[in-house]
Structures are given as C-alpha cells and as structure tokens.
C-alpha cells in the first residue's frame, strides 16, 4: 500500500488516472441520485404544461414549424432547439425527462467541481446532492428551462473560478473565452441569464486588471468576451432576418417581455412567500458557509457577486413563479458546500436541508404519475373520437394533447395561457381577440376547457367567446380529472361541435 501511494503521488499519469476515475464515480453517483429523485415522474404526459409545450414545439419543428411564426412563445430558440434534438431521438416524454435528468446531474457535477476547489470532497459531494434534492421543491422535477441553462452557467462559473489564480497574474487562458461562449448559449435558452453572464465576464476583467493587465489589453479582452457571449443569439437573429421573420423574432425576444403585465400584487406576494419557505434552509446554510468558509482565497467575493447577479435575474421578471428561483440553487449550493464540509455540523445541516426538501416534494409518488398518464390518455381518446376531423382547440387544458392526437394548430397561439390569461392578452405580435375569432371561425370539432378557469386574471373576452361556442355548438362529452403539479383539475372535453344531437346532455362521462 505504501508503494502504491508513493507511485501514485510521484507519477503524473497515475495521479491523473486516479483523478479521472474519481470524477467518473462522482458523476455516476449524481446520475444515480438524479434518477432516484425523478424516476417516479417518468412517462407523465402532463408533468408540467411548460415542459410539454416545449416538447410539443420541438416535435412540430421536425414537421416544419418555425418558432415565433407558426407557434408563438417568448422563450429563446436555444430552448426549442434542445427539445428539437430530443424529439429527433424519441417523441416519448421519457426522452426529455431523461435528458433533463442528465443535465441536472451534470450541473451537480459542476457544483461539486467548484466546491472541491474551496473545501473538501465530502462538502463537494453533499453540495451536488443538495442541488439535485432542491430541484423538486422548486418545481424543477421536469424540463423547465433552468434545468438546461443552469448547466451552462455553472460550467462557465467553474471555468472562471478555476482560473482565478491565473487571472490574478493577468493571464486569460482559453478557459475564459470558453466560459463566455457557454454564457452565450445560456442566453439563447433564457434571456435573464444575461445578468450572470455579464457578472462572470466583469469579474474576469476585474481580476485581470488587478493582476496588472493594461487598459488597452483589458479593452480587447472585454470586447472579445462580449462578442463571444453575444455570438449565439446574434447567429439566431441573423437566421431569422435571412428568412424574412426578423419582426416576429424581435417582438418575441424583446417587445413581448417588456409589454407583459405583472400578476396581481397579492398573487406575487404569495409566490414570494412560497419560494422563501422552500429555500430558507439552504439560504441560511449558504450564508453561514460564506461567512465561515476557510481557505476561500478571494473566492468569497466571487460567490457573493454571483449570487447577487442571479438574484437580479430572478427579480427581473417579477411574477415570481416558483420555478423562477431555480437559477439561485447553483450559487446557493456552492456556498452551502463550504459549510457542509465543516465536520458534524455540516452533515447535520445537509440532513436538515434534505429532510426539508421532502416536505415539498415526494420522489416516490408513482401513483400520481400513473393516474396522470391514464387521464391524459382518456382525454386524447375522447378528442380523437369526437372532433370529426374538424380540429382541436385546447383553450384551458394540457397542450400536449396536440401531440398525443396529432391534431394541427389552429393558430400560432397554442399555449393555453396565451389565449385565456389576461396578462398575456395582445403580448404577442398577434391580437389575441382576432386570433380567438379566427380559431372559432374554423369550427373546431373539440374544445378542451377546464370546468373552472385556472389562470387569473381571466381574459374575459376570449372566455366568453369560447364559452358561447361550446354551449351553442358542442356537447360536453366527458369530464376528466387532470393531474398536474399536485393539483387535480376537472377538464371538460366538448366535442361533436356543429354535430350536436338534440339532447346535449347525453352520455356525459366523468373520470
């Protein structure tokens, strides 16, 4: 054993081999933990309406649909390209759910990589597991956009942090431009990542200046970093300009985000309170870690600044849905890892955080998933039997029904919120009222509509028009209980539209 230790310590190849094996084992551990925490949700076709919509768009892109033109949303193209690539492998929802799981595990590995530079291996492993466990309570158990862009930001932060000593000597290795490009890729998934991207670039420039870098060279570095960060989005913008759809792209990326109305203040306070309760333990542990962490070698300021940048991104879209807090988990987990490394106290803190996560998210509730799958299949079967080839309108229900039934879109406004939610009225480049009129003029054979409105404030104009249509031209075929995000919702399937029998109450099924 002594000889083996001597050889490993004295031989660079053996040291590298041991490090590689260690990294592989840690990565395998994070993948196993991520699967264990998320496997109960695999196969759920109504896991989250956002996820299902992104995957639906990815599938329709293979049929020629152009985001923002044929199907509208304000998310950048990078997110839809990820789902496009996944849909090219498989159209089963398990495909995107597994992809999101692997992205989560890779992000945990990046968290581990940062913590191990500042603390010990034990704290780093617990920090990675902590990140994975906290995803569930913040509605990150599916394929929300932060599951993907968190990896790019975390990898960029890891590269910048690793190079802090070189930067302090005015040396910018290839790792820094790589980090800036990763930040640029993150921006193509969600615009709010720009705050973290800018912070990482400014921190690298600040370190270069402190290391003695001249102003002329610093300006060149700054321009280079900015160009790399902007390159992916500029490339996408160039493609849209080239194909003649620049106005739609610009409106979706910029104007729509500036014109969307906020939620009711009471609703915002509720969301903030919910988020605060869910992240309170990890925020406290992170604060202690930043205060007591030993051997940070100037990294404390880096972590604090990064957390502030993530917070700015969080508050920049002030509706504060729970999953909006997912980007905060990366810097919080890194900072918490500093305290997790603090002996028994760290282990106790880790255990408290993990137990608290179980209060908000059950990783073993497979029964819910199976019930959700059955309800979605029941809805899809009913749609297929009662639309008579006249098309489908999902006004307030699961958008993935379009994928399950292979029905075409009747309007670019496919995501139900864009039709029924008042804060989304006329936010796209298309007038919502005119789109509703156009959809109903096509005479859809089936309308899927929650028995009670779910998105408040309600777009009453569109609600009245659709209500008049279903009560005047359709029959309530079936009421199916939908299962989404731990909420049961009765969803009405109104079918046989314009082929209504005299007695419209016949054969109403409930399940």
Tokens at residue 276, please? 């605060």
For range 393-413, the mean pLDDT: 97
Whether the predicted pLDDT of 57 surpasses 70: yes
pLDDT at 69: 98
- Judging by DSSP bridges, how do beta strands 487-495 and 446-450 pair with one another? antiparallel
How far apart CA 268 and CA 314 sit, in angstroms, is 13
Would the pLDDT of 63 be above 70?
A: yes
The torsion region of residue 475 among left (phi > 0), alpha (psi -120 to 50) and beta comes to: beta
- Lookup: tokens for 183: 């930040």
Domain spans in the chain, listed from the N-terminal domain onward: 2-360, 366-510
Cα separations (Å) of 27 from 23, 30, 92, 116, 421?
Answer: 6, 5, 25, 14, 42
The rounded distance, in Å, linking the Cα atoms of 47 and 140 is 11
- pLDDT tens per residue, range 437-460: 999 999 999 999 999 999 889 999
Sign of the CA dihedral with 481 first, then 483, 488, and 492 last:
negative
Q: Give first-to-last CA distance, the chain, whole Å.
A: 66
The mean pLDDT of 329-346, rounded to a whole number, is 95
pLDDT of the residue at 261: 79
Q: Is the pLDDT of residue 319 over 90?
A: no
Give me the pLDDT at residue 503, please.
52
Residue linked to tokens 């034990």: 122
**Stretch among 19-23, 103-107, 468-472, 499-503 having the lowest mean pLDDT:** 499-503
Tens-digit pLDDT profile for residues 143-152: 999 999 999 9
Measuring CA to CA, which residue among 437, 443, 400 is closest to residue 419? 437
Strands 446-450 and 475-484: unpaired
Cα→Cα distances 223→163, 187, 219, Å? 19, 18, 6
pLDDT of the residue at 19: 64
pLDDT of residue 5: 47
Calculate Rg over the CA atoms of the chain.
Answer: 25
Q: What is the pLDDT of residue 159?
A: 97
Considering 8-22, 86-100, 159-173, 339-353, the range whose residues carry the highest mean pLDDT is 86-100
For residue 472, how many C-alpha atoms fall within 13 Å in the half-sphere facing its CB?
Answer: 9
Residue 35 sits at the vertex; the CA angle it makes with 33 and 37, to the nearest 5 degrees, is: 70
Q: Is residue 295 over pLDDT 70?
A: no
Retrieve residue 171's tokens: 């040396």
Residue 194 tokens, joined: 């720009």
How much is the pLDDT for 27?
96
pLDDT digits (tens, 9 = 90+) for 236-294: 999 999 999 999 999 999 999 888 878 888 889 999 999 999 999 999 999 999 987 65
Which pTM was predicted? 0.93
Q: Are 61 and 67 in contact (CB under 8 A)?
A: yes
The span from the CA of 436 to the CA of 202, in Å, is 46
Q: What pLDDT is recorded for position 509?
A: 72
Contacts of 103 (CB under 8 A, 6+ apart): 147, 148, 150, 151
Q: pLDDT for 372-397, tens place per residue?
A: 999 999 999 999 999 999 999 999 99
Region 81-88: mean pLDDT is 98
| C-alpha 288, offset from chain centre | 28
Nearest of 396, 374, 382, 286 to residue 330 by alpha carbon: 286
% pLDDT > 90, the chain: 83
Give the mean pLDDT of the chain.
92
366: which 2 tokens? 């497979």
Percent of the chain with pLDDT over 70: 93
Give Cα separations from 481 to 142, 219, 368, 451, 454 (angstroms).
Answer: 21, 59, 12, 10, 14
Copy the structure tokens of residue 247.
Answer: 């106005």
Confidence (pLDDT) at 7: 42
* pLDDT score at 1: 41
144 or 343: whose pLDDT is higher?
Answer: 144
pLDDT digits (tens, 9 = 90+) for 157-214: 999 999 999 999 999 999 999 999 999 999 999 999 999 999 999 999 999 999 999 9
Nearest to 184 by CA among 77, 271, 28: 77
Residue bearing tokens 């800036």: 180
């Amino acid at each position: 054993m002594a000889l083996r230790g001597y050889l490993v310590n004295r031989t660079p190849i053996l040291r590298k081999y041991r490090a590689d094996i260690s990294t592989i084992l840690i990565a395998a551990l994070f993948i196993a933990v991520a699967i264990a925490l998320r496997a109960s949700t695999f196969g759920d076709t109504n896991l989250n309406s956002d996820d299902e919509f992104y995957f639906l768009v990815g599938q329709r892109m293979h049929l020629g649909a152009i985001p923002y033109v044929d199907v509208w949303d304000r998310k950048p193209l990078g997110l839809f390209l990820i789902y496009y690539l996944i849909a090219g492998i498989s159209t089963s929802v398990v495909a995107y759910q597994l992809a999101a799981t692997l992205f989560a595990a890779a992000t945990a590995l990046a968290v581990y990589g940062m913590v191990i530079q500042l603390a010990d291996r034990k704290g780093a492993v617990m920090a990675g597991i902590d990140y994975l466990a906290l995803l569930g309570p913040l509605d990150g158990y599916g394929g929300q956009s932060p599951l993907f862009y968190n990896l790019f930001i975390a990898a960029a932060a890891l590269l910048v942090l690793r190079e802090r000593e070189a930067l302090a000597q005015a040396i910018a290795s290839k790792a820094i431009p790589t980090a800036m490009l990763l930040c640029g890729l993150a921006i193509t998934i969600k615009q709010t990542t720009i705050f973290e991207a800018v912070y990482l670039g400014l921190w690298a420039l600040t370190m270069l200046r402190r290391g003695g870098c001249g102003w002329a060279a610093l300006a060149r570095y700054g321009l280079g970093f900015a160009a790399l960060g902007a390159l992916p989005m500029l490339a996408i913008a160039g493609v849209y300009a080239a194909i003649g759809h620049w106005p739609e792209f610009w409106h979706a990326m910029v104007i729509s985000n500036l014109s969307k109305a906020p939620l009711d203040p009471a609703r915002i306070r509720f969301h903030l309170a919910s988020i605060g309760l869910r992240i309170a333990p990890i925020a406290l542990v992170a604060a202690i870690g930043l205060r007591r962490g030993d051997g940070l070698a100037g990294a404390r300021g880096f972590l604090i600044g990064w957390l502030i940048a993530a917070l700015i991104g969080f508050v920049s879209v002030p509706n504060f849905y729970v999953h909006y807090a997912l980007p905060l988990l990366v810097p919080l987990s890194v900072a918490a890892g500093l305290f997790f490394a603090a002996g028994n106290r760290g282990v106790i803190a880790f255990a408290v955080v993990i137990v608290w996560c179980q209060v908000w998210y059950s990783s073993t509730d497979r029964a819910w998933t199976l019930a959700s799958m059955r309800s979605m299949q029941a809805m899809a079967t009913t749609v297929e039997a009662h639309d008579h080839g006249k098309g489908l309108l999902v006004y307030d229900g699961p958008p993935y029904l379009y994928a399950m039934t292979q029905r075409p879109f009747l309007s670019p406004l496919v995501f139900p919120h864009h039709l029924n939610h008042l804060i989304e009225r006329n936010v796209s480049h298309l007038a919502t009222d005119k789109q509703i009129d156009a959809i109903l003029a096509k005479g859809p054979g089936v309308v899927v509509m929650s028995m009670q409105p779910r998105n408040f404030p309600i777009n009453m104009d569109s609600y009245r028009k659709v209500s008049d249509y279903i009560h005047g031209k359709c029959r309530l075929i079936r009421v199916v209980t939908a299962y989404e995000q731990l909420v049961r919702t009765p969803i009405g399937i109104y079918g046989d539209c314009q082929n209504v029998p005299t007695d419209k109450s016949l054969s109403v099924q409930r399940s």
